[in-house]
Structure 1
Amino acid sequence: MTRNRNLFLAAAGLVLAGRVQAGVQAIWPIINLSQNNVTLSFDGENDCVYQNSGDYAHDDIDSYYAYYPRDPDDWAVAFRKFTRVSDLSTRSQAANGNHQLHPFTPGSTPDFLSFEMEMKNSGLHCFENTKTLDMNVKVGGNPVYTYRLNDAGLTHWQLYKIGPGVNQMIDLGAGGHFNWEPLTAIAALFEGKEPSYSSPQVASWGFTTIYDGLNVDDRSACILEKDILGGTDCLAAGVALVVLPSGVITALPLPDGGHNW
C-alpha cells in the first residue's frame, strides 16, 4: 500500500510540475516587400498556445529582440539587409486579432509585424503534445492561405502552407534543443551588395526555397538557448514569413540569438 501511494504521489508530482513548466516562447514575423496590401487574421486553429501578451512572461522574447540588431553572424547581417528590418521589437504584436500590412515603398523600412506567443507545456492535454497556431494571409487579390506553425513536442517544428490546391510542409528543425548551423551559403547571396528584389533568382523563390537548400539536420527552429546539465535547452523559437515583390510568401529562418544564461 505504501509503495503504491508513493508511486501515485510521484506521478502526481510530475503532472503538477508539468502544469507550472513554461513552454518555449516564439516569434513569428511577417514582412511585406510587395506592392500589395496584406491582410492577416488568427481565426483558425489554436491549440495549446498562449496568444495574449498578458498570459506569459516575455523575458526570452525580449532577450532575443535586444540581441537581434547587433547580431554579427553572417546570416543575421544578410537577414537584416534583405528584409530591411533592423529592429524586430518596434512592431511586436500579440498573435491574435486581424491586421493589415501596407505596400512596400522601395528605400524605406517595409511594413511588418512580429507576432509573439508562448507554447503551453502544462496540463495533461498540452504537456509534450503538439502546439498549433494558424495565421490566415491574403496578399492583394490572391486567395487566402493558412500558415500553420506546429511545435511538435519533443520532435521538430513544422510550418505548413494550406490553401486552394496547396498543402506544403517545411521541417523547421528542432525547437526543444538548440542545433543551429550558420546559413553562410544563403548569406553569401547578399554579401557586399544590396539585395536585388527583382533579380531572377529572388523572383523564382517559393514558399520552401530557402529551407530546401538546407539539410534537415542543419535546421533549427530554436533562436535562443541556455546551457543545462548535459547540453542545451531552447528558450525561444521562430520563423519569418516574407512577402516577396512577386506576392509569393517565402519562409526564412530567423537569425540565431545565442545564449541566455
Structure 2
Amino acid sequence: MTKTLEGSIALVTGATAGIGRAVALQLAALGAEVVVHGRSAERGAKTVQEIQNAGGKARFVAADLAEADDVRRLAAEVGPVDILINNAGVYKFGTTADTDDAFFDEHININLRAPYILVAQLVPGMAARGGGVVVNLSTIAAAVPARMGGVYGASKAGVELLTRVWADEFGRSGVRVNAVQAGPTETPGTAATPGLAESFATVTTLGRVAGPDEIANAVTFLASPQASYINGAIVQANGGQLAIAP
C-alpha cells in the first residue's frame, strides 16, 4: 500500500471501536501517525497496539467530549495535526415529550459542540501551515427524519451545515472540510440494540447493514491526497435511499 499520508498526524475521535477504529487503522496503514481518542484507556491501548503491530504509529489520548474544557485539553495535548476526523458521537432515541435537558445537552455537546471546539482549536494551525483536512461523520438521519431520533438528527444536520461553513472559511488557506453521511452500520453501539441497524437497512436500496470499513473507506478517501479537489461535500455512504413507489 502506498504511504500517501506519510509524515502527517491525524486525530480520530471515538477511535477505540466501530467506524472510528476502522478509520484509525486505515489512516495508519497509509502512513499517518494516528492519535487515538476515546474514553477507555484499555480499548485505546488495544487500538494503538493493533496499529503498531501492523507497523504503524499511534498514541492514545483520553478525553470526555461532553465537557468543553476537556475537549480543549484534548486539542492542547494532541498538538498540531494535519488531519482531524470528528467521528465520536452519541445517538439515543425518544419522543420530544420524553426528551429531558440532559438527553438534549448530551447530543449537542458531543455531536456538535465538540467538533466545533476541535476545529476552532486545531484548524487555524492547519491554515497557518498552508493545508490540512477535516472529515466529519454525519448520518442519514441528518437528511431523512428518523422516528424518535430528532435530537440526534438535528445535531448531525448542524454538523453538515458547519462542514460547508468551514469549507468556505478555511478553503482558501488550503484546508479541506468534508463530511460522510453514514447509513446503518454494524458497530458495538448498534449491537447494543439488537435489530436496530437491520431495521434501518430495510429502507436502503442495498437492503443491508454496512461494515465499519465500508464507511471508513469513504472517510479515508476524503482525508487522502486523492480527494484534493473535494471541499464542502457531504458524501453519502448510506446504502442509497429507496424510491417512492405508487
TM-score in same-fold range (> 0.5): no
Return the structure number with greater relative CO, CA threshold 8 A, min gap 6.
1
> What is the TM-score when the length of structure 2 is the normalising length?
0.32
> What is the TM-score when the length of structure 1 is the normalising length?
0.30
Instruction: Flag the structure with higher helix content.
Output: 2
- Choose 1 or 2 for highest CA Rg: 1
